[in-house]
């Protein structure tokens, strides 16, 4: 059968997660000062002696790699090499970390205090720490945490300090540098700063990549960066960025190191500090510029309860094992290693693939709280629902999530009612119980409000709530897409699945080329939970499958609607010379109009994240093109194509309001496979 022939994590009997240890517990029972001043002597890679920041800079400035580029730039620009060298030195000065143990100790002290006020627990899987310790000694290590909060990298360093592990050097965006004092503090705790964009600047790239590679090759410290590039404002994982990953993997391909260990780290917050900030940002209130005074204002948050943090250090992933049979390292033999070169296609696709796998590993080990399930249910019942119904459905959803191997942190002993009520208590800013009904809280405005303001307030709470639902999406995504495809009543279930897969691949982490595998995974999961049967390789809903399929359908409903609104806008409203800049505000006001007129109930479409992803999908599907005219990027809409995408989505949506008849798609999987083959996909996708 299809479902038994493919490898994926849920079928892996080895999939066993470690237990957590609360590191705050000890902090609550012993002196923070002593802790900050204790002996810190981490084991390093093959016993190297730590390298002073200045020595590191010298190694970089004297490297063949940098010399080559300096000469190249000098020849191109006509400037003397000395001057370029000086420029390189300035860039490095601006970039380099100045890790100092004294600063780290200050942070250790201050963060202990802060964490104890903010959080109930900071839980870490100690087995993961042990694996990391082992990995650090064997090969250069790259730490790849998920990124949902500013807190992430301080937290990471804090944990590594706590466990006496080598402190990482962390790639941070230049925007932190705006905060003079804090920026320097971060620098002294191991951050190095990179400009957000330096597209064509060869010299900058050379300094930057050589700086990172030097640290990696010599194993001076683990390197830490965020694959997602920026904090996820939606709590969904973001499409990984490849630049830094390319840099840290290249030394392996060039034989400069035996192996590189990539360690995915999943940081899950029960409540995110930036919760409503993110929602506002997504709704178009620009992100406040990082400034020290801004951070001080954030002191207000110190008085709130943010629940627990779970940090899961995943199994180190050996680049050597991953690349086995995929990249032929000897193709690097014929080119001098110090001359920068665009990675070969084979390498690029390997790095891309690796990035996706790592993000999926991050997702797999994200700890989900009961509230995440409750938020998913509440969002499907915006009018609110009975507490007893919510409780009952949450229990049902818990079962489903567990059978899909979700990493659910459900209090073992507590009665369900208690779990639900304490979740509601912690998130009282988002949901309230009045009488027997639970509903979303809408921020109370001061004084009279316009309909737009009311709508805006409501959207803030919907988006905040959605950021919790989003945390569970990676668990349900594949079966949910299949459910939508089935309810579409099309006779080509796979084609419909594949369409959705393609459409949503900016919104969710779908590894390139994995369509068939994801489809098989979806089938397997739905069969496993009894929602679907596959007689003679058909896909048929079972008698008991209705609630599951309908829940999944509702789960993706906002995305389907959102994309559809974008399509409608592009077909009906968009003016001829629509620029990329105008696009987001224009879609937003289009959606606001629809909602105010009572024609749309979906608030999530107001999120700039969804709008961007929808546009990216349409661009990918060639329904929209970008044309650069003068300094403006204009969007050229192929209305026919957009219309037909809208049609497919529309059919989905209408059907999704569920008729109760059983579904009997007539298409067999084999036929699907044949179709695919005919359409020119490589046969290797078909097993």
Partner 1 sequence: PSLLLLLTLTKLTNCFLFSPRQEIMKWNGWGYSDSKFLFNKKGQAEFTGKRYRLSGMTLPSLQDWFENTFGASVKHKSPPVLNASVVPPPRLNEAFVENLKATGIPFSNEAEDRVFRAHGHCLHEIFALREGKKFERVPDMVVWPNCHNDVVKIVELACKHNVCLIPYGGGTSVTSALECPPEETRCIVSLDTSQMNRILWLDENNLVAHVEAGIIGQDLERLLNESGYCTGHEPDSMEFSSLGGWVATRASGMKKNVYGNIEDLVIHIKAVTPRGVIEKSCQGPRTSTGPDIHHFILGSEGTLGVVTEVTMKIRPIPEYQKYGSVVFPKFEAGVACLREVAKQRCAPASIRLMDNKQFHFGHALKPQVSSIFTHFVEGLKKFYITKLKGFDPHQLVVATLLFEGDRERVLQHEKQVYDIAATFGGLAAGEDNGQRGYLLTFVIAYLRDLGMDYCVVAESFETSVPWDRVLDLCQNVKERIIRECKERGVQFQPLTSCRVTQTYDSGACIYFYFAFNYRGLADPVHTYEQVEHAAREEILANGGSLSHHHGVGKLRKEWMKDSISNVGVGMLKSVKEYVDPENIFGNRNLL
| CB of residue 335 to partner 1, shortest distance in Å | 10
Minimum distance from CB of 264 to partner 1 (Å)? 23
Q: Give the per-residue contact string, 577-606, with partner 1 (x = CB under 8 A; - = no).
A: ------------------------------
The interaxial angle of helices 202-218 and 53-61, nearest 10 deg, is 120
Per CB under 8 A, does 256 bind partner 1?
A: yes
Rounded Cα gap, residues 493 and 507, in angstroms: 21
Whose Cβ is closer to partner 1: residue 65's or residue 149's? 65
- Is 255 or 443 the residue whose CB approaches partner 1 more closely? 255
DSSP label at residue 2: G
Residues in the interface with partner 1 (CB under 8 A) total 11
Cα 270 to Cα 310: distance, rounded to the nearest angstrom: 8
Do the beta carbons of residue 515 and residue 495 sit within 8 Å? no
Choose, by CB under 8 A, the member of 1, 58, 130, 333 that binds partner 1.
Answer: 333
Residue among 4, 330, 575, 659 that touches partner 1 (CB under 8 A):
330
> Do residues 159 and 23 make contact, with C-beta atoms less than 8 angstroms apart?
yes
Closest CA to 501 of 486, 521, 481, 520: 481
Closest distance to partner 1 from the beta carbon of 389 (Å) = 55
**Half-sphere exposure for 510 (CA within 13 Å, toward CB):** 26
Contact status, residue 64 vs residue 198, Cβ threshold 8 Å:
no
Stretch that binds partner 1, among 328-336, 467-475, 498-506, 516-524 (CB under 8 A): 328-336
Contact flag: residue 284 with partner 1 (CB under 8 A) = no
- Quote the CA–CA distance of 652 and 646 in Å, as a whole number: 10
Decide: is 644 part of the binding site for partner 1 (CB under 8 A). no
Distances (CA, A) of 242 to 183, 191, 284, 353, 538: 25, 20, 27, 10, 39
* 332 binds partner 1, rule: CB under 8 A: yes
| Region from 5-13, 307-315, 323-331, 346-354 binding partner 1, contact rule CB under 8 A | 323-331
Query: x/- contact string, 209-248, with partner 1 (CB under 8 A)?
Result: ----------------------------------------
Nearer to partner 1, 78 or 325 (CB): 325
What's the closest the beta carbon of residue 224 comes to partner 1, in angstroms?
25
CB of 325 to partner 1, least distance (A): 11
Q: Taken in order 18, 420, 484, 603, is the CA torsion positive or negative?
A: negative
- For the chain, state the CA radius of gyration: 26
**Residue 4 engages partner 1 in binding (rule: CB under 8 A):** no
Which span (336-344, 472-480, 520-528, 613-621) binds partner 1, by CB under 8 A?
Answer: 336-344
Whether 512 and 354 have beta carbons less than 8 Å apart is answered as: no
Binding of partner 1 by 336 (CB under 8 A): yes
Least distance CB 85 / partner 1 (angstroms): 22
* 164 is a site residue for partner 1 (CB under 8 A): no
Q: CA-CA distance, 194 to 211, in Å (whole number)?
A: 11
Site membership for partner 1, residue 337 (CB under 8 A): yes
Cα gap 545→533, rounded to integer Å: 9
Residue number, 256 or 353, with CB nearest to partner 1? 256
Nearest to 374 by CA among 266, 465, 244, 264: 465
- 569/329 Cα distance (integer angstroms): 49
| Interface residue with partner 1, options 28, 52, 180, 329 (CB under 8 A) | 329
How far apart, in whole angstroms, are the C-alpha atoms of residue 127 and residue 413? 24
Q: Parallel, antiparallel, or unpaired for β 308-313 and 624-629? A: unpaired
CB of 465 vs partner 1, minimal distance in Å: 49
Least CB distance to partner 1 at residue 138 (A): 9
Question: Which residue, 137 or 537, has its beta carbon nearer to partner 1?
Answer: 137
- Residue from 315, 262, 265, 314 nearest 140 by CA: 262
Minimum separation from the CB atom of position 257 to partner 1 (A)? 8
Contact between 205 and partner 1 per CB under 8 A: no
Nearer to partner 1, 329 or 626 (CB): 329
Residue 330 Cβ vs partner 1, minimum distance, rounded to whole Å: 5
β-partners of residue 635 are 626
Sign of CA dihedral 628, 633, 637, 638: positive
Sequential DSSP letters for 80-149? -HHHHHHHHHHHHHHH-----HHHHHHHHHHHHHHHHHH-SEEEEEHHHHHHHHHHHHHS-EEEEE--SS
Q: Which is nearer to partner 1, 205 or 332 (CB)?
A: 332
Residues 226, 170: contact at Cβ < 8 Å? Answer: no
Smallest separation (angstroms) from partner 1 to the CB of 337: 6
Q: Closest approach of Cβ 143 to partner 1, in Å?
A: 22
Instruction: Select from 53-61, 326-334, 486-494, 527-535 the region that touches partner 1 (CB under 8 A).
Output: 326-334
For partner 1, the closer CB: 335 or 677: 335
Q: What is the contact surface with partner 1 in residues (CB under 8 A)?
A: 255-256, 258, 328-330, 332-333, 336-338
């Amino acid at each position: 059968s299809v479902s038994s022939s493919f490898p994926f994590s849920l079928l892996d009997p080895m999939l066993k997660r470690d237990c957590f240890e609360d590191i705050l517990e000890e902090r609550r029972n012993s002196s923070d000062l002593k802790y900050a001043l204790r002996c810190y002597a981490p084991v390093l890679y093959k016993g190297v002696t730590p390298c002073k920041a200045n020595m590191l800079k010298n190694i970089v400035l004297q490297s063949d790699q940098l010399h080559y580029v300096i000469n190249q730039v000098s020849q191109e620009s006509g400037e003397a090499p000395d001057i370029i060298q000086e420029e390189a030195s300035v860039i490095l000065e601006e970039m380099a970390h100045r890790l100092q143990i004294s600063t780290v100790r200050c942070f250790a002290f201050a963060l202990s205090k802060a964490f104890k006020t903010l959080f109930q627990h900071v839980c870490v899987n100690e087995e993961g720490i042990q694996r990391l310790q082992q990995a650090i000694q064997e090969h250069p290590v790259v730490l790849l945490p998920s990124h949902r909060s500013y807190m992430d990298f301080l937290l990471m360093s804090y944990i590594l300090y706590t466990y006496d592990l080598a402190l990482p050097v962390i790639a941070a965006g230049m925007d932190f540098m705006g905060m003079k004092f804090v920026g320097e503090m971060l620098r002294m705790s191991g951050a190095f700063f990179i400009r957000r964009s330096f597209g064509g600047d060869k010299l900058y790239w050379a300094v930057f990549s050589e700086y990172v590679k030097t640290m990696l090759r010599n194993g001076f410290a683990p390197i830490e960066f965020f694959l997602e590039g920026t904090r996820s404002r939606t709590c969904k994982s973001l499409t990984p960025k490849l630049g830094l990953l390319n840099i840290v993997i290249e030394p392996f391909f060039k034989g400069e190191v035996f192996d590189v260990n990539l360690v995915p780290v999943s940081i899950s917050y029960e409540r995110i500090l930036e919760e409503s900030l993110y929602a506002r940002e997504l709704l178009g209130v620009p992100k406040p510029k990082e400034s020290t005074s801004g951070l001080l204002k954030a002191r207000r948050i110190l008085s709130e309860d943010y629940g627990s943090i779970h940090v899961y250090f995943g199994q180190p992933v050996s680049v050597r094992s991953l690349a086995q049979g995929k990249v032929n390292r000897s193709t690097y033999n014929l080119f001098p290693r110090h001359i920068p070169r665009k990675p070969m296609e084979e390498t690029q696709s390997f790095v891309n693939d690796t990035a996706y796998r790592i993000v999926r590993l991050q997702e797999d080990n994200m700890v989900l709280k009961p509230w995440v399930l409750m938020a998913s249910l509440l969002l499907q019942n915006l009018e609110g629902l009975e507490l007893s119904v919510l409780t009952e459905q949450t229990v049902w959803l818990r079962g489903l999530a567990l059978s899909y191997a979700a990493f659910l942190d459900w209090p073992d002993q507590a009665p369900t009612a208690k779990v639900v009520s304490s979740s509601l208590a912690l998130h009282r800013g988002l949901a309230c119980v009045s009488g027997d009904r639970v509903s979303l809280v809408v921020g109370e405005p001061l004084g009279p409000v316009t309909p737009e303001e009311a709508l805006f307030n409501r959207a803030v709470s919907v988006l905040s709530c959605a950021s919790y639902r989003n945390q569970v999406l990676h668990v349900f995504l594949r079966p949910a897409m299949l459910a939508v495809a089935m309810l579409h009543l099309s006779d080509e279930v796979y084609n419909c699945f594949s369409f959705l897969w393609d459409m949503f691949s900016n919104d969710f982490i779908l590894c390139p080329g994995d369509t068939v595998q994801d489809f098989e995974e979806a089938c397997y999961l739905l069969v496993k939970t009894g929602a679907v049967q596959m007689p003679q390789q058909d896909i048929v809903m079972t008698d008991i499958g209705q609630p599951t399929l309908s829940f999944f359908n509702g789960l993706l409903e906002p995305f389907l609607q959102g994309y559809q609104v974008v399509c409608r806008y592009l077909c009906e409203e968009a003016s001829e010379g629509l620029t990329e800049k105008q696009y987001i505000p224009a879609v937003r006001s289009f959606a606001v109009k629809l909602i105010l007129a009572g024609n749309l109930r979906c608030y999530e479409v107001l999120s700039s994240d969804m709008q961007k992803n929808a546009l990216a999908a349409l661009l990918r599907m060639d329904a929209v093109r970008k044309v650069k005219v003068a300094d403006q990027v204009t969007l050229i809409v192929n209305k026919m194509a957009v219309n037909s995408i809208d049609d497919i989505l529309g059919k989905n949506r209408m059907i999704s309001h569920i008729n109760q008849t059983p579904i009997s798609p007539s298409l067999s999987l084999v036929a699907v496979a044949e179709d695919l083959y005919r359409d020119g996909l490589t046969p290797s996708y078909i097993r």
